[in-house]
């Protein structure tokens, strides 16, 4: 069988999270989280390098998550010249030994032979069209194409390797889809727009999610069931082609793509909202493009669904940008991953050792916060590379950092913070958010309406284009048709 069960306790004990949470709030399994992150890396905004050469059609862009000791040590995507597996070997080399790799597509033989040779522990992949596309082969009815030959070579490599090559798809927790939808609607990024235009956001959220789902469905799913079965057989997954396995596989895949679309819709391309400096400054701040900033904050949003905090899930991810102007071999360009985390109890502790969330007992609620390791703290603690003072390092957090984390972020050498800031200046239970506004030496990019807009009093629909770094939209066809909308350039 290619479907694998939960790892043994000996492997789980090295993770950055505690044992399974026995609460009322559903959470993503670590396997589904890594799978979603790999899919999301596949749509990482491509670097602009002025090269108009087209990617060969039979090579699919691939996302990859590298996991060592149950912590994420690499997020990669294929570039125009290199596949994701090749990039992993270049970036990690012999450090891949005993790591688990999560691909958004089944890797080709060129990648597989190198990562197997590096001594990886497990290779899992999304069971759809592989890196060497078989969909094109099926459409042209070619029996002896390179893709088919490669699929056979991959199967031989797989059967003769020590690494466990498999599909890891687990059913989502009960009510997980509903929970993600509810929390996405309540997300800071959506609620800030809701306060500006209360009559609009709910409808726009569902429209934007449907738009994203159709896009991701085309990318990650094979609409025709017979074609999907044929591809599964060619890549060695014949046992998943029979019902009820096939029906279950399709359902699990569709639900995960729906989760991805819902989380993506929680940080919408809406009017001229985006990540801008909280306070204008005479200094020349080099911010990321809105596209990359939103992509990274959505990574943090996905991490938040592994939380062990019953009340609020928080995710954080740290990226850095190399000073060199030349593009890196990775599909992320000059950007490279440093670390990530979510709020959880200390490593190795049993969840029941600490107070749970209980709205009726405020003293227990307060005590709980003294035990939770915050997302930013986990991201800094378990980072896979040191933070270089001469490079631009940025942390993406789903919430405004609290007083406990602000000094850590600054002291670690992180140059920029991207977050929502709805809690700024507040104190909740024993969590204070007073220090963030006065933080010096770190640029704070918070989700807000573009402060440089001439005017933007009315919302627009979700059909957006990016111009001058500011996300613009076409006028909506409701009562706002005849209203004047002005959009300024972003900083």
The helix (run of H) or strand (run of E) holding residue 342 is strand 335-342
Contact present, 3 and 68 (Cβ < 8 Å): no
What is the rounded CA–CA span in Å between residue 98 and residue 164?
11
For residue 255, give Cα distances in angstroms to 46, 147, 192, 220, 443. 26, 28, 27, 12, 37
Active site residue 199: no
Contact present, 336 and 11 (Cβ < 8 Å): no
Longest dimension (CA), the chain: 69
CB atoms within 10 A of CB 227: 15
Contact present, 336 and 392 (Cβ < 8 Å): no
Which residue out of 9, 291, 376, 391 is catalytically annotated? 376
Residue with tokens 């043994």: 8
Backbone φ, ψ for residue 187 (5° rounding)? -60, 145
Q: Is the peptide bond before 109 cis (omega within 30 degrees of 0)?
A: no
What is the rounded CA–CA span in Å between residue 54 and residue 357?
53
CB atoms within 10 A of CB 282: 5
Which tokens in the block code for residue 379? 């991201």
Helix, strand, or coil (residue 277): strand
What is the rounded CA–CA span in Å between residue 170 and residue 155?
23
CA atoms within 13 A on the CB side of 459: 21
Q: Give catalytic residue positions.
A: 376
């Amino acid at each position: 069988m290619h479907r694998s069960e939960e790892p043994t306790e000996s492997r789980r004990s090295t993770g950055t999270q505690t044992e399974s949470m026995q609460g009322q709030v559903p959470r993503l399994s670590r396997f589904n989280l890594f799978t979603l992150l790999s899919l999301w890396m596949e749509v990482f905004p491509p670097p602009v390098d002025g090269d108009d050469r087209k990617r060969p059609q039979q090579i699919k862009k691939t996302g990859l998550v590298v996991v060592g000791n149950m912590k994420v040590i690499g997020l990669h995507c294929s570039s125009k010249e290199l596949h994701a597996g090749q990039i992993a070997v270049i970036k990690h080399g012999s450090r891949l030994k005993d790591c688990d790799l999560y691909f958004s597509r089944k890797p080709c033989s060129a990648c597989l032979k190198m990562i197997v040779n590096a001594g990886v522990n497990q290779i899992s992949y999304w069971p759809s069209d592989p890196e060497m596309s078989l969909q094109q082969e099926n459409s042209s009815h070619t029996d002896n194409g390179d893709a088919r030959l490669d699929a056979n070579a991959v199967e031989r490599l797989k059967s003769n390797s020590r690494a466990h090559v498999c599909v890891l798809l687990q059913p989502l927790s009960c009510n997980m889809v509903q929970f993600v939808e509810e929390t996405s609607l309540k997300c800071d990024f959506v609620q800030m727009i809701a306060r500006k235009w209360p009559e609009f956001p709910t409808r726009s959220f569902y429209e934007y999610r449907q738009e994203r789902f159709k896009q991701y469905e085309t990318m990650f799913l094979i609409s025709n069931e017979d074609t999907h079965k044929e591809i599964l057989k060619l890549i060695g997954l014949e046992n998943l082609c029979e019902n009820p396995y096939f029906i279950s596989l399709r359902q699990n895949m569709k639900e995960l793509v729906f989760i991805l679309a819902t989380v993506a819709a929680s940080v919408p391309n809406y009017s001229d909202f985006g990540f801008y400096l909280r306070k204008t400054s005479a200094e020349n701040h080099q911010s990321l493009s809105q596209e990359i900033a939103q992509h990274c904050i959505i990574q943090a949003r996905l991490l938040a669904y592994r939380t062990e905090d019953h009340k609020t899930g928080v995710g954080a991810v740290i990226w850095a940008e190399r000073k060199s102007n030349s593009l890196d071999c990775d599909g992320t360009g000059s950007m490279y991953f440093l670390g990530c985390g979510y709020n959880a109890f200390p490593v190795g502790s049993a969840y029941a050792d600490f107070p749970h969330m209980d709205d009726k007992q405020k003293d227990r609620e307060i005590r709980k916060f003294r035990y939770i390791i915050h997302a930013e703290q986990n991201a800094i603690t378990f980072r896979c590379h040191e933070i270089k003072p001469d490079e631009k390092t940025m942390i993406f957090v789903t919430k405004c950092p609290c007083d406990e984390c602000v000094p850590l972020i600054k002291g670690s050498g992180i140059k920029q913070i991207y977050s929502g800031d709805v809690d700024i200046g507040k104190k909740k239970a024993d969590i204070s958010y007073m220090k963030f506004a006065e933080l010096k030496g770190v640029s704070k990019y918070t989700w807000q309406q573009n402060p440089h807009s001439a005017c933007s009093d009315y919302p627009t629909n979700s059909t957006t284009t990016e111009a001058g770094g500011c996300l613009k939209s076409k006028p909506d066809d409701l009562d706002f048709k005849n209203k004047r909308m002005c959009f300024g350039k972003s900083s």
